[in-house]
Amino acid sequence: MKICGRFFSLICLSIYSVFSFAQSNQGNVIDEVVWVVGDEAILRSDVEKRRLEFGSSVTGNPYCVIPEQLAIQKLFLHQAAIDSIEVTDAEINQYVDEEINQKILSYGSKEKLEEYSGKTMTQLREDSYDKWKGTLTMRDVTRKLAEDVKATPAEVRRYFKDMPEDSLPLIPTQVEVQLLVQQPRIHQEEIDRVKNTLREYAERVNSGSTSFATLARLYSEDPGSARQGGEMPYMGRGELDPGFANVAFGMTDPSKVSKITQSEFGYHIIQLIDKRGDKVKCRHILKRPEVQQQDIDTALVHLDSIAEQIRREKVTFEEAVLYASDDKDTRNNRGILSNLKVDEQSGSQITTTRFEMSELSTYSPELARVISTMEIGEISKPFTMINGKGKTVCAIAKLKNRINSHRASISEDFQILKAQVEEDKKEKVISEWIKEKQRTTYIRINPDWRDCEFQYPGWIK
């Protein structure tokens, strides 16, 4: 859920809080305008609310830090309006749901959360929605402002040329992993059971007895969309599973429920919400057939035999992957697992074969546990795991390489060092943008609120 880079973290602090939470006593405060930025006012009550939320986590004088953060927020939101930058409700609600769920876990129940906060769940969601809308909008403005920032190889080398070794970034231990995956057999009776369940849901929607969104919240096995009543964001054909896309893009009537369609994730029914250009917005309910233990055991025995052939050098791991693996993504890459990362500032995707152990654990806790005890070149015993599509599969793994924790070097870690240089350059771009906005924006600060050491001194003119 992390969306803030180093230079953006202070700004984000003013917008949202996941775990810090407190009651507001704004009713005891005589409100007044303490700052004006452009045609936007910052009230004493705005500052008090943030102060109560963050408490001791604010570094420095909160009556200096918080209004400055709110002022920076207003500069970014004004720019978003100029550039017509909007964040979708679906994306905002994803963060709102996670924040609310984490708070419920922290306080023990919805009732205790409401009692402590003095607000209903509806009010809490509205507050969270506003905060996340601001945060995500600012993120997108930041990306746009720094989208052209790049670092050349010469800049990277110059940046680190004279840097002391103990100042270089510390690279955590990384691993490269190969996988051979087999999907346990799923009986036709189980597939029929799932399809009959989905047909029953479709009949309930078509008869008007239950809404599609309600059924999705209750029964869909896609955790990302289930909380939204099965609703997905606008997506292009290439972003969807081909089978799913064919049905979704072929629908024309939002009141109808699709036929059952199969994808790599399982079986679905779909309801069209809207089409916009070459993108479609829809709801879906996902159900996955359950795998029987006896079929898992059969797959594990088969994999154990393959692993033994590899150990005896009768076949290489790469050859075994080609003829025996059911996972097309790793099969087409000699079994090598790819780590797809998203740059938090630019939104661009970076693919590498290296995983930090924390990243591997996020991908599959079961796989991470197996790899953590292996030697380079070792073939694991067969094990079960949940793959990236939420299915139970059986696998054997090979530890292709382990790069122990070390100080970064140009030869081994160029991309990491390049990313750090680019982040520093982006930080300077945003800093200069804020300073320029200070010069060109009307700003008035109540005299009682001026005695501060601001991060950006240009507020007082």
Domain segments of the chain as ranges: 6-149+424-459, 174-185+291-404, 188-287
Query: Do the first three CATH levels of 174-185+291-404 and 188-287 match, i.e. the same topology?
Result: yes
Q: Position of tokens 């429920």?
A: 257
* CB-facing half-sphere around the CA of 255: CA atoms within 13 A: 3
Helix (H, G, I), strand (E, B) or coil at 371: helix
Q: What is the DSSP string of 274-328?
A: EEETTEEEEEEEEE-PPPPHHHHHHHHHHHHHHHHHHHTTSS-HHHHHHHH---H
Is the separation of the CB atoms in 277 and 264 below 8 Å?
A: no
Closest CA to 252 of 225, 282, 228: 282
What are the backbone angles phi and psi of residue 61, rounded to the nearest 5°? -70, 115
Which DSSP helix (H) or strand (E) runs through 407? Answer: strand 406-407
* Predicted pLDDT at 105: 78
* Predicted pLDDT at 162: 80
The first and second tokens of residue 238, run together, are 């290439």
Question: Of how many residues is the chain composed?
Answer: 461
Helix (H, G, I), strand (E, B) or coil at 111: helix
Vertex 17: Cα angle to 134 and 104 (nearest 5): 120
Strand partners, 394: 182, 384
* Predicted pLDDT at 103: 85
Is the separation of the CB atoms in 270 and 251 below 8 Å?
A: yes
Architecture in CATH of 6-149+424-459: Orthogonal Bundle (1.10)
| Fold held by 174-185+291-404 | Chitinase A; domain 3 (3.10.50)
| Positive or negative: CA dihedral 173, 174, 177, 183 | positive
Distance of CA 29 to the CA centre of its chain: 38
Per-residue pLDDT tens digits of the chain, which is 461 residues long: 444 454 444 344 433 333 333 333 444 446 899 999 998 999 999 899 888 877 777 888 999 999 999 999 999 999 998 999 988 887 888 788 888 888 887 888 888 889 988 899 899 989 889 889 988 999 999 989 998 999 999 999 988 888 888 888 888 999 999 999 999 999 999 999 999 999 999 999 999 999 999 999 999 999 888 888 999 888 888 889 999 999 999 999 999 999 999 998 999 999 999 998 888 999 999 999 999 999 999 999 999 999 999 999 999 999 999 999 999 889 989 999 998 776 655 556 678 899 999 999 988 999 999 999 999 999 999 999 998 888 899 999 999 999 999 998 888 888 888 888 988 999 999 999 999 999 999 999 999 999 999 999 999 87
* Predicted pLDDT at 340: 79
**Helices 121-145 and 414-440, axial angle in degrees (round to 10):** 100
Q: What Rg value do the Cα atoms of the chain yield, rounded? A: 26
Helix (H, G, I), strand (E, B) or coil at 333: coil
> In this structure, what DSSP letter does residue 388 have?
T
> In this structure, what DSSP letter does residue 397 have?
E
* Predicted pLDDT at 347: 55
**3.40.50.1580, 3.10.580.10, 3.10.50.40, 3.90.1720.10: CATH of 188-287:** 3.10.50.40
> In this structure, what DSSP letter does residue 150 have?
-
The first and second tokens of residue 123, run together, are 């009010």
| Contacts with 329 (C-beta within 8 Å, 6 or more apart), sequence order | 338
Is the separation of the CB atoms in 156 and 313 below 8 Å?
A: no
- What is the spatial distance between Cα 287 and Cα 260, in angstroms, rounded to a whole number? 10
Is the separation of the CB atoms in 99 and 92 below 8 Å?
A: no
